[in-house]
C-alpha cells in the first residue's frame, strides 16, 4: 500500500473505530431496551458522547466517512430488499405527494428567503436543499447557479441544523398522529427530512419497515434533482446573475441512488437467493447503525448558537412550511 493510502487509513481509523464502538454498545443495550432499538440508541449515544467527551478534531475524518460512505453503501444494499412490487405500494398517490411537496417547499422557501433579505442564489440553494436532499442537492445546485463558497457553506449549515431538529421531532409526531399507518409515517419522514442520513435516522426511531418505505419517498425526491438543477439554472440565467456558460456537466443523481435502482431492477425481474437478501439486510443494518452513531457524534450543538437570528428564523419558518404541507397532503391524498 502507498504511503498516501496508509496515511488516509490512519486518519480514518480513530473516528471510524469510535463510530463502530458506539454502534456495538448500542446493539448490546438494545437487548435490554428492545423498544428503543439499536439504531435509536446509536444516534442518542453518539449525540451525548460527541458533545461531551469526543470533540477531538482527529475524529472528524473517520466519523465523516462513517456518516456518508457507510450510509451510501447501506442505501445500495437496501435494493436487495425492495422490488417494484414494494415501490408499487407507494402508488400514484405517493408520487403525487412528492411532486406537491417539492413544489410547495421550493416556492415557499424561496419566497420566505427573499422576504427575509436573502439573495436569489441563497434562497434557491435553501429551497433545493430542503426540497430534495440536503447538502448533496446544494452541492449540485451551487455550481450551476454560480453561488460562492461562503453562501454555500452558510446554507448547508442552516439546512443541516433544520434537518437535525426535524429528525429528532417528526418521528414522534408521526407516531402520535398516524399510529400503525406505515405509509403515512413513511411519507411524513421521507417527504420532508433533508438528507438521506436524516431520513434513515428519523425513520429508525420508528421501526425498520418505516426506514424502507421512507427511503422510497426520499429516493423519488432525489431522482427529481436533475429537474431542479436545470430549472434553477434557467431561472438565474434569466435574471442575469449567471455570466458564464456552464461546461460539461455530470448527472447530479448520486451514485448510490443509481446503485439502489439497478439492484432493485435485478431483484424485481430475477429474484435473488434468499441467503443473499438476508446477508445484504444484515450488512446494511450494521452500516446504518454505525453511520447513525457517526451522525450523532458529529452533531455539534454549538452550531445552533453561532447562526444569527435571521438564519434561525428562516430555518424555523421553512420547517413549519414543510411539516404543515406534509400533514395537509397526507390528509388530502389519503395516504
Question: Which pLDDT belongs to residue 71?
Answer: 77
Q: Which domain holds residue 316?
A: 11-333
* Residue 6 placed within a domain: no
Between the alpha carbon of residue 305 and those of residues 9, 42, 87, 159, the distances in Å are 33, 25, 41, 15
* Residue 76 placed within a domain: yes
Lookup: cell for 2 = 502507498
Question: Which pLDDT belongs to residue 140?
Answer: 79
**Is the pLDDT score of 246 beyond 60?**
no
* Residue 58 placed within a domain: yes
| Tens-place pLDDT, residues 77-95 | 877 877 777 777 778 999 9
| Tens-place pLDDT, residues 269-300 | 887 788 888 888 888 888 888 888 888 888 77
| Tens-place pLDDT, residues 299-333 | 776 766 666 788 889 999 999 999 999 999 999 99
Contacts of 70 (CB under 8 A, 6+ apart): 287, 288, 290, 291, 294
d(CA 244, CA 129): 23
Lookup: cell for 158 = 442552516
The SS3 of residue 146 is coil
Full-model pTM:
0.76
* Residue 4 placed within a domain: no
* Residue 2 placed within a domain: no
Lookup: cell for 167 = 429528525
* Residue 5 placed within a domain: no
* Residue 70 placed within a domain: yes
* Residue 132 placed within a domain: yes
| Percent of the residues in the chain that have a pLDDT greater than 70, as a whole number | 92
Report for 61-65, 100-104, 118-122, 149-153: range of highest mean pLDDT: 100-104
What is the mean pLDDT of the segment spanning 131-159? 83
Q: When comparing pLDDT for 140 and 35, which is higher? A: 140
What is the mean pLDDT of the segment spanning 150-160? 81
Q: What is the DSSP letter of 48?
A: H
Cβ(147)–Cβ(122) below 8 Å: yes
Question: Which pLDDT belongs to residue 267?
Answer: 82
What rounded mean pLDDT belongs to the chain? Answer: 84
Question: Which pLDDT belongs to residue 176?
Answer: 95
Cβ(69)–Cβ(259) below 8 Å: no
**Is the pLDDT score of 46 beyond 80?**
yes
**Is the pLDDT score of 58 beyond 50?**
yes
Q: When comparing pLDDT for 135 and 114, which is higher? A: 114
Question: Which pLDDT belongs to residue 251?
Answer: 54
d(CA 206, CA 323): 17
Lookup: cell for 120 = 436569489
| Domains contained in the chain, number | 1
Question: Which pLDDT belongs to residue 2?
Answer: 60
d(CA 29, CA 35): 11
**Is the pLDDT score of 198 beyond 70?**
yes
Between 2-6, 154-158, 202-206, the lowest mean confidence (pLDDT) is in 2-6
Q: When comparing pLDDT for 31 and 2, which is higher? A: 31
Question: Which pLDDT belongs to residue 101?
Answer: 97
Amino acid at each position: 500500500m502507498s504511503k498516501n493510502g496508509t496515511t488516509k487509513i490512519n486518519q480514518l481509523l480513530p473516528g471510524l473505530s469510535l463510530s463502530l464502538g458506539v454502534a456495538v454498545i448500542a446493539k448490546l443495550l438494545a437487548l435490554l431496551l428492545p423498544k428503543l432499538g439499536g439504531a435509536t440508541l446509536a444516534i442518542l449515544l453518539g449525540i451525548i458522547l460527541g458533545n461531551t467527551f469526543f470533540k477531538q478534531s482527529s475524529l472528524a475524518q473517520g466519523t465523516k466517512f462513517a456518516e456518508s460512505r457507510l450510509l451510501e453503501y447501506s442505501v445500495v444494499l437496501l435494493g436487495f430488499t425492495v422490488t417494484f412490487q414494494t415501490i408499487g405500494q407507494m402508488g400514484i398517490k405517493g408520487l403525487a405527494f412528492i411532486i406537491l411537496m417539492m413544489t410547495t417547499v421550493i416556492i415557499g422557501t424561496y419566497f420566505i428567503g427573499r422576504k427575509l433579505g436573502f439573495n436569489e442564489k441563497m434562497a434557491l440553494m435553501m429551497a433545493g436543499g430542503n426540497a430534495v436532499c440536503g447538502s448533496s442537492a446544494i452541492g449540485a445546485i451551487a455550481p450551476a447557479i454560480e453561488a460562492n463558497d461562503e453562501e454555500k457553506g452558510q446554507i448547508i449549515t442552516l439546512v443541516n441544523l433544520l434537518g437535525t431538529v426535524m429528525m429528532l421531532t417528526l418521528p414522534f409526531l408521526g407516531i402520535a398522529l398516524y399510529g400503525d399507518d406505515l405509509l403515512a409515517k413513511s411519507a411524513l419522514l421521507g417527504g420532508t427530512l433533508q438528507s438521506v442520513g436524516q431520513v434513515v435516522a428519523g425513520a429508525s426511531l420508528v421501526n425498520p419497515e418505516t426506514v424502507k418505505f421512507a427511503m422510497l419517498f426520499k429516493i423519488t425526491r432525489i431522482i427529481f434533482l436533475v429537474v431542479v438543477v436545470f430549472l434553477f439554472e434557467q431561472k438565474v440565467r434569466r435574471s442575469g446573475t449567471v455570466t458564464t456558460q456552464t461546461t460539461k456537466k455530470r448527472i447530479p443523481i448520486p451514485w448510490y441512488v443509481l446503485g439502489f435502482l439497478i439492484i432493485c431492477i435485478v431483484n424485481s425481474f430475477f429474484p435473488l437467493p434468499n441467503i443473499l437478501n438476508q446477508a445484504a439486510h444484515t450488512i446494511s443494518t450494521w452500516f446504518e447503525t454505525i453511520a447513525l452513531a457517526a451522525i450523532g457524534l458529529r452533531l455539534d450543538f454549538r452550531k445552533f448558537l453561532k447562526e444569527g437570528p435571521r438564519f434561525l428564523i428562516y430555518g424555523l419558518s421553512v420547517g413549519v412550511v414543510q411539516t404543515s404541507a406534509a400533514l395537509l397532503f397526507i390528509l388530502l391524498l389519503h395516504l
